[in-house]
Amino acid sequence: MERFDFGFAPYVSLNHVQRQMLQESVDIVFFNDDEVIIQPQQKIEHLYVVIKGAIKELNTEGEVMAVYRARDTFDARALIEGSSQHQFVVAEQALVYSIPKSTVQKIIEDNPRFGAYFYASVAEKFANLNENELTGLFSAYVRDAYRKKAVWLDGSDTILMVAQKMKEHKSKSVLIHHNNQVGLLTESMFRELLLNHGSPQDPAHKWAVFDLISIDMNDFVFNALLKMMQCSVQRLVVLDNGEVIGVLEQVDVLAYLSNHSHLVAQRLESATTLEDLNGIAAQMTQSILVLRNNGLRAPQLAQLMQVLNSSLFEKAWRMIAPPELYEQSCLIVMGSEGRGEQVLKTDQDNALILSENADLAMAEQAALKFSELLAQLGYPPCKGNIMVSNPMWRKPLPEFKKMVGEWARKATGDNMMNLAIFLDSRVVAGNPAYLDEVNQYVRQFLNNDVGMLMAFARAVEQFDGDEQGFFSRILHRNEKENMDVKKMGLFPVVHGIRALSLENKVSETNTFERIQKLAQLNVLDAQFAQDLAEAQRYLMDMRLKAGLACLHDGKVLAPNQLDIDSLSTMERDLLKDALQVVKRFKNIIRMHFRLNT
């Protein structure tokens, strides 16, 4: 019988010889309540694995940093570094495996995968996890899917020749060279030719499209699908180092799909009544379940849902608003929907900017109907009433500018949160120039205002009480303990990055794009930016896991509440890593904006 339990990561990766080595050297040790296992700066000679009981990790201020329970390992990094910066104390009588340092070092030499589990950077750990999860469409590259034998013609060739070549090669499109440009001709061109009384002898360039939408051959097939949905096209030209080398058809993309999520976009495009939208909204949720089961991660799902939600909101507003109101309005979404980081249907966060000449009574009636429709489609009303149905978030352009400018000029807590919500806004319907004008107006109040930036950034500390008390609470688990992923992980990163982006005039709204831009500007260390992005992706995955669990159990959606007991050992380890990165980032924000002064 094996003395050590090898049924969990990373020990499951050990071969027979390595397991035997560990079995022969491991001890089982009992520690009583409040007993100190590791002191700060103490020389570390053993790696510990909890069999039962609980161990708490304390920093130099006595704050609980982590709690270790059955199958958790500590302190691997300190074992290599020689000593720990923290103290490890028994919270509940504990039985632990004690593995000698020499054994651990020998196994690491023989098994790099085992060592990587403990000592890889946070980004590398999550990347390894992703490699195990991604399948099919989500690991397929455009270079593997596009039609490599593209049909090429000269722009002076006739339309008749185009038709002959399409028939000969059984192709729905051909590429042409004309005046140092590349054009595309598709089957639909023949319809336009007939309707406009064209001739089979017309030169190909007369009917070709030269404003082409492209994708690089080394991009993912999923991103190609996303771009097709965003641009409402059925094909993309494929680039290699900027040169057109072929065409990726929608049918090629669909060959990689094991579900029918693409049908959602097609149904949205053809929807003609509000009743049509009901079934489409339900199908969107089903697509999430299928795609998640196929290995797609939360950030990519959020991108897909952003495209579909935008199409749905635009279609709904166009159906509800009379044509004159549609042209004199700008419908925007904000918060996580505006950033493209929302997967499941949660609170509505939207606003309406109106022309000075818009009929306000007509706008009110349409806005109320729009909010009511979204609720029927599964998008719950916003608890903070940040919706177009609220007059505060439905104003003519001059009044909207005045309101947002007031938020920027007077740094109260409510003003800063309203400003934060607005800064993530994105147009989904109507005239985008209205939002551009508000953004240009408000940014003149944000330039180099140190006091305002400090007040704005301070919201990163909004949920510090939840963070400080969480690990202490789970030491006394008389009841099931849930973790609010948004408060403890997602929000501090989103808002801290938003504050840095505001200071550095970064125009992107998506958190991951903001992180990338801040790293390019050397505002964030490149390695830390990578760790932060991967930690945020993992926390989004955990949030989605919690939300899907609610849907599966038929409960009211509470996407932020993560059941810690439901996590595997690896998931708990990665969660601790992610929270440590978030904690480090919050300290960076505190120092940068001098929040402790």
Residue 426 lies in a domain: yes
349 with 422, same domain: the answer is yes
Residue 131 lies in a domain: no
373: pLDDT strictly greater than 80: yes
pLDDT tens digits for 99-129? 999 999 899 888 877 877 776 655 666 655 5
Amino acid at 429: A
Could you tell me the pTM of the whole model? 0.68
425 with 461, same domain: the answer is no
551 is in which domain, residue-wise?
A: 454-592
The answer to whether residues 185 and 247 touch, using CB atoms and an 8 Å cutoff, is no
297 with 442, same domain: the answer is yes
Q: Among 223, 254, 285, where does a domain finish?
A: 254
Residue 206 lies in a domain: yes
Measured CA to CA in angstroms, residue 397 lies from 139, 210, 392 at distances of 45, 37, 12
Round to whole Å and give the CA distance between 454 and 515: 19
The pLDDT, as a whole number, for residue 129 is 54
Stretch 195-220: mean pLDDT, rounded? 89
320 with 423, same domain: the answer is yes
462 with 427, same domain: the answer is no
Residue 575 lies in a domain: yes
In this predicted model, which residue has the larger pLDDT, 294 or 177?
177
Residue 135 lies in a domain: no
Residue 519 lies in a domain: yes
405 with 521, same domain: the answer is no
Q: Which of 5-9, 174-178, 265-269 has the highest mean pLDDT?
A: 174-178
Q: Quick check: helix, strand or coil at residue 474? A: coil
440 with 466, same domain: the answer is no
Q: What is the CATH number of the domain that holds 105?
A: 2.60.120.10
576 with 473, same domain: the answer is yes
30 with 146, same domain: the answer is no
Q: What is the CATH number of the domain that holds 186?
A: 3.10.580.10
Q: What is the CATH number of the domain that holds 359?
A: 3.30.460.10
Q: What is the CATH number of the domain that holds 548?
A: 1.20.120
Q: Among 426, 447, 468, where does a domain finish?
A: 447
Number of domains composing the chain: 4
The pLDDT, as a whole number, for residue 554 is 65
Stretch 338-350: mean pLDDT, rounded? 88
Round to whole Å and give the CA distance between 303 and 79: 41
Q: Among 424, 447, 470, where does a domain finish?
A: 447
Measured CA to CA in angstroms, residue 403 lies from 39, 352, 411, 419 at distances of 55, 13, 13, 10
Tokens of 504: 């550095």
353 with 475, same domain: the answer is no
Residue 597 lies in a domain: no
Stretch 64-71: mean pLDDT, rounded? 84
pLDDT tens digits for 216-266? 998 888 788 878 878 878 889 999 999 999 898 876 675 545 444 555 766
Tokens of 201: 């002898």
Residue 279 lies in a domain: yes
Tokens of 304: 């897909």
The pLDDT, as a whole number, for residue 473 is 56
Close Cβ partners of 245 (under 8 Å, ≥ 6 residues apart): 148, 150, 217, 238, 239
Backbone angles phi, psi at 87, to 5 degrees: -110, 140
In this predicted model, which residue has the larger pLDDT, 556 or 54?
54
The answer to whether residues 134 and 298 touch, using CB atoms and an 8 Å cutoff, is no
The pLDDT, as a whole number, for residue 133 is 40
424 with 529, same domain: the answer is no
In this predicted model, which residue has the larger pLDDT, 522 or 290?
522
473 with 555, same domain: the answer is yes
Average pLDDT, the chain: 85
